[in-house]
Amino acid sequence: MRLLYFGWVRARIGISGETLEPPANVIDVYGLIDWLKKRGGGYQEALEDATLIRVAVNQEITTFDTQIRRGDEVALFPPMTGG
Amino acid sequence: MIRVQEQDFDVGLELSRMTENNHEVGAQSVFVGLVRDMANKEKISSMTLEHYPGMTEKQLAAIEKEAYKRWPLNDILIIHRFGRLEPGDRIVLVATTSAHRTASLESCHFLIDWLKTKAPFWKLESGPLGEVWVDSQEKDERAAIKWDTEDS
C-alpha cells in the first residue's frame, strides 16, 4: 500500500511517503490510522488528533470508514488550504 | 483549462488569450490571489505551497466541471502555483467568460471559494518567528458551503 503525507502530517512523520503493508485486520482508514499511531514517534504526534486529519484513497477525498486494500494509494493530510 | 505550475503567469496575456477570436463572449471575470506580507499580525518573508500532484489536477478538473454545469460559460481558466513564493507574488488566477456578466461573476466567485477548501494545497509561512503551517479557516468552509445545492 502506498502511503503519502502532506502539510504538517508530512513534517511530523518526517517523510513524504512510504510503501507499507498493514496487517490483515486493518480494513479501513480508521484501522490504518490506529495502526500507524502505534508505530509511535512522529506517527503518534501527527495522527494524535484524528479530527484534524483528512484522507484521500486513490486520489479521492473520502471518510475514515472507507475500506482499503493492497495496492491502494492512501494520503493523509491536514485540511486543505488552496487558493 | 487547468494549469498547476511553479512559474509566474502574466494576467493580461492570459485574459487576452481567453477571448481571442471569440466574439460570443460579452463578459470576463477574474480573481487573482496574492501573497500578503502579514499573517496573524506577524510579518512573513515567504510562503511555500505544497500540493498533491495528480490529485490536484483531478480536484481542479472536478471543480471546473461543476462550474460548467451550473453556469452558461464559454471558458474557464484556473492557474494555481506551488513552491516558494514571496509577498506580492501571484498565487492563483481564476477567470471565466460568458455572454453576460452574471454567469461570469458568480462562477468566478464560486470557483475561488471551492478552491480554498477542495484543492489539495498546504501553505507553510516563514517569518522571524520561524515556520507556521496555515490553518484552514472556518470562514472559508462557510464560504464554500454557501454554494452547496440540494442536488450536489
- In this structure, is residue A45 part of a structural domain? yes
- In this structure, is residue B150 part of a structural domain? no
Give dist(CA A4, CA A75) in Å, integer.
4
- In this structure, is residue B71 part of a structural domain? yes
Q: What is the pLDDT of residues A16-44, one digit of tens each?
A: 999 999 999 999 999 999 999 999 899 99
Hey, is the C-beta of B33 within 8 angstroms of any chain A C-beta?
Answer: yes
Give dist(CA A54, CA A50) in Å, integer.
8
Contact by Cβ (8 Å): A32, A20? no
- In this structure, is residue A12 part of a structural domain? yes
- In this structure, is residue A25 part of a structural domain? yes
Contact at CB, A77 and B134, closer than 8 angstroms:
no
In one letter, which amino acid is A61? Answer: I
Chain A residue numbers with beta carbons less than 8 Å from the beta carbon of B116 are: 81-83
- In this structure, is residue B58 part of a structural domain? yes
Q: What is the pLDDT of residues B67-84, one digit of tens each?
A: 999 999 999 999 999 999
| Nearest CB to B50; choose among A7, A79, A83 | A7
Nearest residue of A to residue B119, measured between CA atoms = A82
How many distinct structural domains can be found in chain A?
A: 1
In one letter, which amino acid is B121? Answer: F
- In this structure, is residue A82 part of a structural domain? no
- In this structure, is residue A69 part of a structural domain? yes
Confidence of residue B149 (pLDDT cuts 50, 70, 90): confident
Range of the domain at B11: 2-145
List the CATH number of the domain containing A68.
Answer: 3.10.20.30
- In this structure, is residue B151 part of a structural domain? no
Q: What is the pLDDT of residues B24-41, one digit of tens each?
A: 999 999 999 999 998 878
Contact at CB, B55 and A59, closer than 8 angstroms:
yes
- In this structure, is residue A11 part of a structural domain? yes
- In this structure, is residue B43 part of a structural domain? yes
Mean pLDDT of B49-54: 98
Q: Using CB atoms within 10 A of its CB, is residue A7 exposed (0-12), middle (13-18) or buried (19+)?
A: buried
Query: Helices B55-70 & B101-118, crossing angle to 10 degrees?
Result: 150
List the CATH number of the domain containing B90.
Answer: 3.90.1170.40
Q: What is the pLDDT of residues B99-144, one digit of tens each?
A: 999 999 999 999 999 999 999 999 999 998 899 999 888 888 888 8
Give dist(CA B4, CA B2) in Å, integer.
7
Contact at CB, B120 and A6, closer than 8 angstroms:
yes
Q: Specify the pLDDT at position B118.
A: 93
- In this structure, is residue B27 part of a structural domain? yes
- What ipTM was predicted for this assembly? 0.93
Chain A residue numbers with beta carbons less than 8 Å from the beta carbon of B108 are: none
Residue B150 has pLDDT above 60, yes or no: no
Hey, is the C-beta of A83 within 8 angstroms of any chain B C-beta?
Answer: yes
How many distinct structural domains can be found in chain B?
A: 1
Residue B151 C-alpha cell reads as 442536488
Confidence of residue B49 (pLDDT cuts 50, 70, 90): very high
- In this structure, is residue A26 part of a structural domain? yes
Residue B151 has pLDDT above 90, yes or no: no
- In this structure, is residue A83 part of a structural domain? no
Give dist(CA A74, CA A67) in Å, integer.
11
| Nearest CB to A83; choose among B92, B122, B133 | B92
- In this structure, is residue B80 part of a structural domain? yes
Give dist(CA B18, CA B97) in Å, integer.
8
- In this structure, is residue B77 part of a structural domain? yes
Residue B95 has pLDDT above 90, yes or no: yes
